[in-house]
């Protein structure tokens, strides 16, 4: 049987030794689940046609995705089709995230002072190209279709790159995921696993988009300040804040109080990291302006 080394921080390694837990069995199980989830993503990416699937079919293909995350993929696919794009790019996925309107990823963005409306505006003015994934290109000859990125917070955005809307790709080839979008979805699964989550939600899709280096969605997010480590910390803080809010949900709260409490929890969690970055900048001589 092949052997794979797993490296642990010193404190965790000591705790594992003291507890006597079956490391091999646990690692095998965790890796098996991760492989299964990534394989499901790859099969879905190759198949495309998300807008042709019923809710039940999509839930069967991506059972570990939340309802909102699946809706984001549907919206991104619909946007790509509406703009006549041959591929579903990272801009379309980010546009779907914005258009869904009620997910945790948007709360995370607002908590780190990134305006979703501004993201939508930047997407609309930054059409780009993303190559189709090579292992899914059998049905198309064009490797670098134009991504029409129009990520406003509406369910049916229109193309804005040339002043006229492109005709929907009705009756034509079904758009498939671009290589960056496919990688972003796989990274979302990895981010969920790294956080110890047994599901993939919109917050993980956000992390996948930020982590993917080449797509327009990640470029737009990073340009607005969505650095990966900071965004990971914000997601963890938002989830912790959400659990706290659930615990006090029975008590009546003034309108807007929950959102303010969640934002405060995120900022409190991020403050040590921000302070550390500021100290490092002072040490290496980085100054404002």
Q: How far apart are CA 186 and CA 212, in angstroms?
A: 10
* pLDDT lower than 50: segments of the chain: 136-171, 243-245, 247, 288-289
CB 89 within 8 A of CB 216: yes
**Which pLDDT score, from 0 to 100, does residue 169 have?**
45
**Which pLDDT score, from 0 to 100, does residue 152 have?**
34
Q: How far apart are CA 281 and CA 286, in angstroms?
A: 5
Q: How far apart are CA 48 and CA 46, in angstroms?
A: 6
**Which pLDDT score, from 0 to 100, does residue 245 have?**
47
**Which pLDDT score, from 0 to 100, does residue 257 have?**
62
**Which pLDDT score, from 0 to 100, does residue 139 have?**
39
Handedness of CA 243, 249, 251, 254 (dihedral sign): positive
| Cα-only R_g, the chain | 20
Q: How far apart are CA 106 and CA 81, in angstroms?
A: 24
**Which pLDDT score, from 0 to 100, does residue 285 have?**
62
Report which DSSP code applies to 277. Answer: H
Tokens standing for residue 145: 């279709």
Q: How far apart are CA 29 and CA 45, in angstroms?
A: 24
Q: How far apart are CA 227 and CA 269, in angstroms?
A: 15
CB 176 within 8 A of CB 89: no
Give the homologous superfamily in CATH for domain 10-228: Clp, N-terminal domain (1.10.1780.10)
Provide the whole-model pTM: 0.65
Q: Helix/strand/coil (H, E, C) string of 193-241?
A: HHCCCCCECHHHHHHHHHHCCCCHHHHHHHHCCCCHHHHHHHHHHHHHH
**Which pLDDT score, from 0 to 100, does residue 136 have?**
46
**Which pLDDT score, from 0 to 100, does residue 231 have?**
92
Tokens standing for residue 226: 């969505």
DSSP H helices, 48-201, are 55-61, 67-82, 90-100, 104-111, 116-124, 179-194
Tokens standing for residue 142: 């064009």
Looking at the chain, the domain(s) classified CATH 1.10.1780.10 span 10-228
Q: Which residues make Cβ contacts (< 8 Å) with residue 137, sequence separation at least 6?
A: 143
Q: Which residues make Cβ contacts (< 8 Å) with residue 64, sequence separation at least 6?
A: 37, 40, 192, 198, 199, 200
Q: How far apart are CA 202 and CA 65, in angstroms?
A: 9
Q: How far apart are CA 87 and CA 181, in angstroms?
A: 9
CB 71 within 8 A of CB 103: no
């Amino acid at each position: 049987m092949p052997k794979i080394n797993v490296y642990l921080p010193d404190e965790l390694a000591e705790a594992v030794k003291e507890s006597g837990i079956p490391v091999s069995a646990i690692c095998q199980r965790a890796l098996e689940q991760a492989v299964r989830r990534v394989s499901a993503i790859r099969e879905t990416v190759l198949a495309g046609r998300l807008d042709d699937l019923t809710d039940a079919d999509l839930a069967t293909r991506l059972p570990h995705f939340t309802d909102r995350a699946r809706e984001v993929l549907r919206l991104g696919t619909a946007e790509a089709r509406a703009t006549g794009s041959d591929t579903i790019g990272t801009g379309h996925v980010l546009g779907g995230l914005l258009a869904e309107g009620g997910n945790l990823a948007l709360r995370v963005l607002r908590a780190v002072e990134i305006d979703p409306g501004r993201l939508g505006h930047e997407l609309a003015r930054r059409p780009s190209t993303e190559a189709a994934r090579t292992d899914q290109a059998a049905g198309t000859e064009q490797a670098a279709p134009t991504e029409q990125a129009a990520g406003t917070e509406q369910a049916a955005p229109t193309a804005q790159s040339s002043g006229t809307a492109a005709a929907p790709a009705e009756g034509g080839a079904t758009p498939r995921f671009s290589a960056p979008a496919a990688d972003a979805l796989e990274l979302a699964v990895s981010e969920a696993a790294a956080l110890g989550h047994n599901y993939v939600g919109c917050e993980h899709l956000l992390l996948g988009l930020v982590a993917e280096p080449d797509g327009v969605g990640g470029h737009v997010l990073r340009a607005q300040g969505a650095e990966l480590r900071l965004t990971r910390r914000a997601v963890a803080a938002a989830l912790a804040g959400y659990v706290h809010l659930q615990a006090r949900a029975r008590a009546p709260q003034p309108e807007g109080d929950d959102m303010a409490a969640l934002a405060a929890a995120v900022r409190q969690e991020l403050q040590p990291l921000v302070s550390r970055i500021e100290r490092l900048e002072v040490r290496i001589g980085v100054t404002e302006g």
